[in-house]
Amino acid sequence: MNSLSYALLSLLVRKPCSGYELRMLLDVLWPAKHSQIYPLLTKLKDKDWVTFEQVQQKGRPDKKIYSITDSGKDVLKDWLKTEPEPPIQRDEFLIKAYAIWLTDERKGKKLIMERLERYKSLLSQHESVLKEMEEEFGGDLRKKTSPQFGRFILFKRRLRMDKEEIDWCEWVLELLEQVE
């Protein structure tokens, strides 16, 4: 089983979810398209690591609510003990920033400013998610055995990274401002 399988189990151990809901929650953990998620959930069900319950809805298509099983919880816990694979970043912006010396000043500034705006927007999104979490769960967020703990520390991490990206962009813009 691949990383995505464990990401799904990590989400389901907090609460039962539909595939559709999982797709959105995965965005901060291990982004994936629905075309990858639905077949994987079927595989996880075949292994008896998850079960599902068909839920009828009015005015909406039916959905399957998946829950983790005891054996699913066991394999997740076993996997947690193993050393994580090194992270991989794939970021086209970095390639463009690397080659920024080739372009004229206007295009160079545009590249960095659009990155800056993007991360300012991400920062405010992440801040409002954290605010909501804080309102809903309060002090529980900081308790290391709370199911909210993992999500909380990850969003705090995102916030730090967003801010650092913003500061870096501003630093680069200052360099681009300089006449030679």
Partner DNA sequence: AAACCCATGTAAAGCGTTACATGATTCA
Partner DNA sequence: TGAATCATGTAACGCTTTACATGGGTTT
Which residues bind to its own copies, rule: CB under 8 A? 3, 6-7, 10-11, 13, 28-31, 73, 76-77, 80-81, 83-103, 105, 107-108, 111, 114-115, 118, 142-151, 153-154, 156-157, 160-161, 164-165, 167-168, 171-172, 175-176, 178, 180
Which lies closer to DNA via its Cβ, residue 64 or residue 151?
64
Contacts of 128 (CB under 8 A, 6+ apart): none
- By the 8 A CB rule, do 50 and 64 touch? no
Tokens of 14: 């907090």
Q: Which does 150 bind (CB under 5 to 8 A by kind): its own copies, DNA, none?
A: its own copies
Binding mask 86-115 for DNA (x = CB under 7 A): --x-x-------------------------
Provide the minimum distance between the beta carbon of 61 and DNA in the complex, in angstroms, as a whole number: 4
The one among 27, 46, 56, 59 contacting DNA by CB under 7 A: 59
The one-letter code for the residue type at 37 is: I
Tokens 């907090």 belong to residue: 14
**What CA–CA distance (Å, rounded) separates 12 from 26?**
11
The identity of residue 144, as a single letter, is K
Residue 126 binding result from its own copies, DNA, none, given CB thresholds of 5 to 8 Å by partner type: none
Q: Give me the least distance between CB of 130 and DNA, in Å please.
A: 21
Q: Which residue has the tokens 């372009």?
A: 103
Paired tokens of 41: 């959930």
For DNA, how many residues bind (rule: CB under 7 A)? 27
What are the structure tokens assigned to 93, written together? 């912006």
* Closest to 165 (Cα-Cα) out of 97, 87, 85, 86: 97
Q: With respect to its own copies, which residue has the nearer C-beta, 24 or 175?
A: 175
Q: Dihedral (C-alpha) 98, 106, 172, 154: value to the nearest 10 degrees?
A: -80
Would you count residue 64 as binding DNA (CB under 7 A)?
Answer: yes
| Residues at the site binding DNA, with contacts judged by CB under 7 A | 2-4, 18-21, 30-36, 38-39, 41-42, 57, 59-64, 88, 90
